[in-house]
Structure 1
Amino acid sequence: MVFPLVAQAQPGFRTNTPNDTLVSPKFLPDGRVQLNLYAPKASDVTVSGDFPGGFPAQKLTKAENGVWSLALGPLTPNVYSYDMVVDGVKTFDPKNPRFKESQNGVSNFFELAGKEVDYLAVKNVPHGKIELVWYPSSSLGTTRRMHVYTPPGYASMKDKLPVLYLLHGGGDNDGSWTTVGRANFILDNLLAEGRMKPMLVVMPAGHVPGTAIAMGAGPDQDPFAKDFIKDIIPYVEQHYNVSNRREGRALAGLSMGGIQTMNIALWNPELFSYVLPLSTGYFPPVLTELETKYATTVLKNPQINKWKLFWIAMGGEKDIAYQNNRNTMALFDKYGIKYQYTEVPGGHSFLAWRQNLYQFAPLLFR
């Protein structure tokens, strides 16, 4: 059957909507940031995030044209993540292509530029590379993913590099440190300023399929710890030009990753020289278990005080792990475990953890 040419060439037509020219986020001159979402049939739209006042969720207001809007701030320059919920369903902001992965989905983020975040800005400096690496995990019987940062000029470097293993928190994944965490840009800028040693940074996936968030005492309660020791470290040392000595290894992690940092390092202190738990601490029942079962074998192990740096950081009193951390440090004090402690503003969020990385990276491998 032959159709008339005019019918074959007839373009499709659609009605223009406010969504065609909508901008979100929209940066206002007074330091506020306006979020906009076209959802004409929605009855309720909210947003939550790590911006000031971001918890509990705030309501957006609907205009007659079907656009829901909310102006945040004024905000201090920083990188902020947020989640929209439309009629009870978490919804990606379709006008904002910047996002971070998490264990169960994605969240948007935006950057409000300013001198306060110059340390994480994308600058005209040499940049390292981010590799997505799939490795076989014999301990878990599966193939898993991690992100690896190699510094600028890595391919031509002759000397073996030290390694920072950088762990994410509960709900996030191995991509979080290089999206909303901005780790690669922070490190690029520090290297360009000559303020840190070149290093490889390995960011593995801390969640293990079929296992709840690990917050207990010791590696036996977290299969990731076995994956880390048995598979991740050997893979990295076989496939990259890196040191295999304790002086060349650092381990840092935030929240859940901070518990994992302590569970790995306290039970294997001879493997590391730098240990940096961030925004974390054992819950009271776990502290009791730690002291009851592991006082002699772990807490009194003299290898712990041979670390060059045991650096504990918190996001101030607003950090949800603040009291757990104080309780954990009290236990360390009781057993003579030496550490350094620092606080930064930002609570339990990347507002604090980006600052932590910027502070501790220059302290490593000196």
Structure 2
Amino acid sequence: MKKLILLSNFLFALILSSTAQEALFNAQQIISPEVHEDNTVTFRLFAPNADAVEITGDFLPTVKMETPMGEMDGPGKASLTKDENGVWTYTTEKLGPELYNYAFLIDGFRTTDPNNPFLIRDVASSTNIFIIGGGHAELYKTNDIPHGSVTRRWYDSPGLGMDRRITVYTPPGYEKSTEDYPVLYLLHGAGGDEEAWISLGRTAQILDNLIAQGKAKPMIVVMPNGNVIQDGAPGEGSRNFYKPAFMIPKTMDGTYEGAFEDIIKFVENNYRVKAKKENRAIAGLSMGGYHTLHISRYYPNTFDYMGLFSAAIMPREDATGKVYSNFDQTLQQQMDNGYKLYWIAIGKTDFLYDANKEYRAKLDSMNMPYEYVESEGGHIWRNWRVYLSQFAPRLFQ
């Protein structure tokens, strides 16, 4: 028996060793990306049999691209150079502070960098990421400061007839504290889900850093899934693994907005919150900005702070639900009830720029107070992370 146990332990160790060696020897022993002291970045890829290798990333000049939502700005491409060892290389110009993403194109086939394990998913595409520090990008880094907690919870939604997954950020010290906190409801765009703001938006890092710097009040941030036919993100809900889609049914037909009280009730019954209008904020990007506009109007005495980030303010044929009726009257009521901040931000080259301009003209005609921020760039996460870092310090002051 003793010999059998020893043999079993030996075989187990051998399996672990071979697995570790396989992971080691299958990996390319190449540094990519390599961020230099002057903030240029070198990318490398070992592909000796490739005829052409390109890189695409948001640090390259933009190009026009056709998307399901029309023509938009997209990342350009650059060619890598092959050396005698079969390693392809590309070095950027000096880059400014930012969280960047990129992918390789090997003979036209798009793939991620095998030397960079850090990835984010945007709808159905995965890209590598890296950070150039300094300036606003310091907010995107995990620094040596107190940290909040990020949890994924499930809540009952009677309005949608299912249990649903939600992401919740609680500020540093929440677990040991007895105090109540204000709440920001932060909504994603089309193709996103309850993972979008926490991964692509760097919400936890931004809030941790702003709170540590004394620039934002400690707050709870609630990030729901705005796709009402899903109980959770692809790979996390009951449908398990399937390809995410950009626009799915019922995302902008009023169903989500009409059932939003289910989320508020869950949060206020399960977290220590200040359950009053002056302690509730709601904001969202693109489709989430559209939801923010209509939720805050449909429940006109619920939120004191609204943030519309590149809001998808556009007419829709499926927008026939009760939520969209009496638009002018409910918007007027929202104004008459009063609020502390109605914040609108958009990039100058965003394809939704004109729609937002028309909406601001409507607010001007009503004398409805708002603040407006216009930035460079288009419909991109680079803007939305900045908008969050500008909006959060304005809350609950």
For Structure 1 versus Structure 2, the TM-score category normalised by the shorter chain is: 0.7 to 0.9
> Contact 1:46–1:58 at 8 Å: present in 2 too?
yes
* Secondary structure of 1:301's aligned partner: helix
1:213 aligns with 2:247: yes
1:266 aligns with 2:297: yes
| Residue correspondence of structure 1 range 306-321 to structure 2 within 5 A | 306-315=338-347, 317-321=348-352
How many angstroms apart in 1 are the aligned matches of 2:52 and 2:254?
Answer: 40
> Contact 1:284–1:324 at 8 Å: present in 2 too?
no
Match among 104, 111, 122 for residue 91 of structure 1:
111
How many angstroms apart in 2 are the aligned matches of 1:352 and 1:88?
Answer: 29
Look up the match of 2:153: 133
> Structure 1 residues 320-329 or 337-346, which shifts more?
337-346
How many angstroms apart in 2 are the aligned matches of 1:214 and 1:307?
Answer: 33
Look up the match of 2:181: 161
* Secondary structure of 1:80's aligned partner: strand
Match among 13, 32, 39 for residue 40 of structure 2:
32
* Secondary structure of 1:155's aligned partner: coil
* Secondary structure of 1:69's aligned partner: strand
Gap change, CA 1:274 and 1:156, over 3 Å in 2: same
1:79 aligns with 2:99: yes
* Secondary structure of 2:103's aligned partner: strand
TM-score, normalization by structure 1: 0.83
Look up the match of 1:58: 77
- Tell me the alpha carbon deviations over residues 97-147 of structure 1, each in whole angstroms, 9 at most, x when there is no partner: 222233324322110112452333332221111112233333333443222
How many angstroms apart in 2 are the aligned matches of 1:326 and 1:320?
Answer: 11
Look up the match of 1:114: 134
> Contact 2:301–2:334 at 8 Å: present in 1 too?
no
> Contact 1:46–1:59 at 8 Å: present in 2 too?
yes
Gap change, CA 1:137 and 1:84, over 3 Å in 2: farther
Gap change, CA 1:145 and 1:90, over 3 Å in 2: farther
Q: CA deviation at 1:187?
A: 1.4
- Tell me the alpha carbon deviations over residues 308-348 of structure 1, each in whole angstroms, 9 at most, x when there is no partner: 11011123x12332222111111222233221111233432
Gap change, CA 1:116 and 1:260, over 3 Å in 2: closer
Q: What's the RMSD between the two structures over aligned residues?
A: 3.3
How many angstroms apart in 2 are the aligned matches of 1:104 and 1:138?
Answer: 29
Q: CA deviation at 1:280?
A: 1.9
| Residue correspondence of structure 1 range 325-364 to structure 2 within 5 A | 325-364=356-395
> Contact 1:100–1:176 at 8 Å: present in 2 too?
no
Q: Any unmatched runs of 5+ in structure 1? A: 1-7
Identity %: 37
Look up the match of 1:5: none
How many angstroms apart in 2 are the aligned matches of 1:283 and 1:121?
Answer: 35
Q: CA deviation at 1:236?
A: 1.2
> Contact 2:156–2:163 at 8 Å: present in 1 too?
yes
Q: Any unmatched runs of 5+ in structure 2? A: 1-10, 63-73, 231-244
Q: Which amino acid aligns with 1:158?
A: T
Q: Which amino acid aligns with 2:93?
A: G
1:299 aligns with 2:331: yes
Gap change, CA 1:345 and 1:67, over 3 Å in 2: same
* Count of equivalent residues: 351
| Residue correspondence of structure 1 range 280-291 to structure 2 within 5 A | 280-283=311-314
* Secondary structure of 2:193's aligned partner: coil
How many angstroms apart in 2 are the aligned matches of 1:226 and 1:293?
Answer: 12
Q: CA deviation at 1:86?
A: 4.0
Look up the match of 1:237: 268
How many angstroms apart in 1 are the aligned matches of 2:320 and 2:258?
Answer: 20
> Contact 2:189–2:284 at 8 Å: present in 1 too?
yes
Q: Which amino acid aligns with 1:221?
A: D
Q: CA deviation at 1:261?
A: 1.0
> Contact 1:215–1:259 at 8 Å: present in 2 too?
no
> Contact 1:281–1:327 at 8 Å: present in 2 too?
no
> Structure 1 residues 201-210 or 121-130, which shifts more?
201-210
Look up the match of 2:7: none
* Secondary structure of 2:211's aligned partner: helix
How many angstroms apart in 2 are the aligned matches of 1:249 and 1:155?
Answer: 20
> Contact 2:60–2:75 at 8 Å: present in 1 too?
no
How many angstroms apart in 1 are the aligned matches of 2:177 and 2:357?
Answer: 42
Look up the match of 1:4: none
Gap change, CA 1:146 and 1:285, over 3 Å in 2: closer
* Secondary structure of 1:185's aligned partner: helix
Match among 101, 104, 115 for residue 124 of structure 2:
104
How many angstroms apart in 1 are the aligned matches of 2:254 and 2:57?
Answer: 29
How many angstroms apart in 2 are the aligned matches of 1:76 and 1:106?
Answer: 23
